[in-house]
Amino acid sequence: MRSFVVPLLCLTLSYGLPLPMTSFAASPEAVHGKKGMVASRSTLASQAGIEIMQQGGNAVDAAVATAFALAVTYPSAGNIGGGGFALVRLEDGKILTLDHRETAPGASHRDMYLDAKGEVIKGLSTHSHLATGVPGSVDGLIRLLEAHGKLSRQVVMAPSIRLASEGFPLTYNLARQFKRQLESMRAYPASIKKFSRDGAPYAAGDIWVQQDLAATLRRISVSGRDGFYQGRTAELIVAEMQRGGGIISLEDLAEYRSLWRDPVHGTYKGYEIWGMAAPSSGGLLVQQMLNMLEPYDLASMGWGSAAAVHLMVEAERRAYADRAEHLGDPDFYEVPAVMLIDKAYARQRFADFDPARASDSKAIGPGNWPTESQNTTHFSVMDSQGMMVAFTTTLNSAYGNKIVVPGTGILLNNEMNDFSIKLNTPNQFGLIGREANAVVPGKRMLSSMSPTIVTQNNQPVLSTGSPGGSTIITTTLQVIVNVIDYGMSIEDAVSLPRFHHQWRPNVVFYDRYALSPDTLARLKQMGHQLAPQTWYARGIGDANSILFRDGLIHGIKDPRGDGIAVGY
């Protein structure tokens, strides 16, 4: 195992972070530990989670510390101005899910992004104040901590406040991101102030201090959810809404509440699969696709073979067609969840599968009973008592709508684009939506986030998930299949290249090296349309995952992005 003691020692000297009494490694080699593990997109955020564990915290304490730290150290997706989902396995094996997805403001309405002719107004749902949903992250994190954490809010939030107030040296990747975003932020002085030196780009190694964000975090640390949803922070958010033509009100903020929901629960080849229920589409679609795959021997087909890829693509095609028709906020629309994860329904849905030919997406509609979302981040946490947290959080696009609320350091989300702003019109990820996901005040927009926990015989096995908009679900599926069907180590299961299909457009996108020339030729013969993915420079997904095997916690930071897994 490669040791990274010197770099971590530098972090300890700079920020006062404790040094784990173990050597650890970044991908492609997994990190191993017995007491705890955090795998996230940010080295500093992972270390913050471990710091809290070493102070006596459990996996929930560590997850909340990691999430707040990500808002400081990975601002393109880590946030307190967005929302997400948390999946938690308690020490006794019970699985809980917390929905802290954003909601539509009270003044929103179904056609708010359409012109007089009923056409979509370009950019209104992605690059304006109207694009912002009522944030849920802070309420979710505080509620999760109060329900299942062990340490105080002040202790758990201390690392994030320290990182914001004292600053940290920017990595090459972060400095490059900031530079690329500046032009799109020119109209927003608070954004330029936060992400540049008076308009000049930061460079790698510059110390980045965020005093406004530190003050906001302190208000939350002192007052809990009221430090965000009421008082000074809420007033500043609403003032910025009014200045920029947004519609979030003080009442919208005060009334926001995260929700405990029953998990999606299914089985696959002797394992139990636990996922997030609607308004996440991830838990339902992952289980539906696994149900379609279960009768087939993927291992004998071979990883990356034309037969295996064809099989998985056809399952994806049908599941995403169902997503467009059936999925939305269950508090506003009757989502047929029981149907979608029923194994008999999967058999019926897959009855027309042809092992030799690709289906035509135009001919694949949503199913019924025979008789009747670049930018997100995912992290995984596990402690020595078997408590696991799979946590996915987002602003939607990278840096949300690019708008920083003056005086707060908070980036606003552009999650309203995840609604079906016009029926059958693709969103920024190319996903189709219909009535189930139409805009309604107070409603939660549909999401692809897929935090997932796998267990066997009531014992923890896997925590996984990913960012990537519409590719989140297929990334999560492939990690699970790699572990269960192919018996891979966690580093191979996460690091190997991926492919993706989402019904429409009718194209199989694939990472470089994911498909051999022979496999590509065979898939084309079957009738598949194929294209190398180009929207993610380093590949599809960022599945920071944890596997519990042979009495050891194995953590991996997906090599497609920055960050690290830290264990002890």
User: Does 70 map to a domain?
Assistant: no
User: Does 255 map to a domain?
Assistant: no
CA distance 312 to 321: 14
Residue 491 confidence (pLDDT) above 60:
yes
Q: At what angle do helices 306-326 and 472-484 cross, to 10 degrees?
A: 140
Tally of domains in the chain: 1
Hey, which of 255-264, 331-340, 372-381 has the most confident mean pLDDT?
Answer: 255-264
Q: Which residue has the tokens 């929207």?
A: 535
Domain of 358?
A: 264-374+470-546
User: Does 346 map to a domain?
Assistant: yes
Burial of 207 by CB count in 10 Å (0-12 exposed, 13-18 middle, 19+ buried)?
A: exposed
- Tell me the pLDDT of the chain averaged across its residues: 91
* Predicted local distance difference test score (pLDDT) of residue 380: 98
CATH of the domain at 521: 1.10.246.130
Residue of 43, 73, 97, 376 marked catalytic: 376
- Catalytic residue status for 425: no
Residue 114 confidence (pLDDT) above 80:
yes
Query: In this predicted model, what pLDDT tens digit does every residue of 405-441 receive, in sequence order?
Result: 999 999 999 999 999 888 766 655 555 556 888 999 9
Q: Say what the pTM is.
A: 0.92
* Predicted local distance difference test score (pLDDT) of residue 361: 87
Q: Which residue has the tokens 């359409």?
A: 114
Which three-class secondary structure string do you get for 419-449?
CCCCCCCCCCCCCCCCHHHCCCCCCECCECC
* Mean pLDDT, rounded, for 380-394: 98
User: Does 293 map to a domain?
Assistant: yes
User: Does 350 map to a domain?
Assistant: yes
User: Does 289 map to a domain?
Assistant: yes
More confident residue, 331 or 372: 331
User: Does 24 map to a domain?
Assistant: no
Residue 96 confidence (pLDDT) above 70:
yes
User: Does 366 map to a domain?
Assistant: yes
Specify whether the CB–CB gap between 27 and 119 falls below 8 A: no
Residue 122 CA to its chain's centroid (Å): 25
Cβ neighbors of 294 (< 8 A, separation 6 or more) are 268, 269, 343, 346
Show the beta-strand stretches assigned E in 243-332.
259-261, 264-268, 271-275
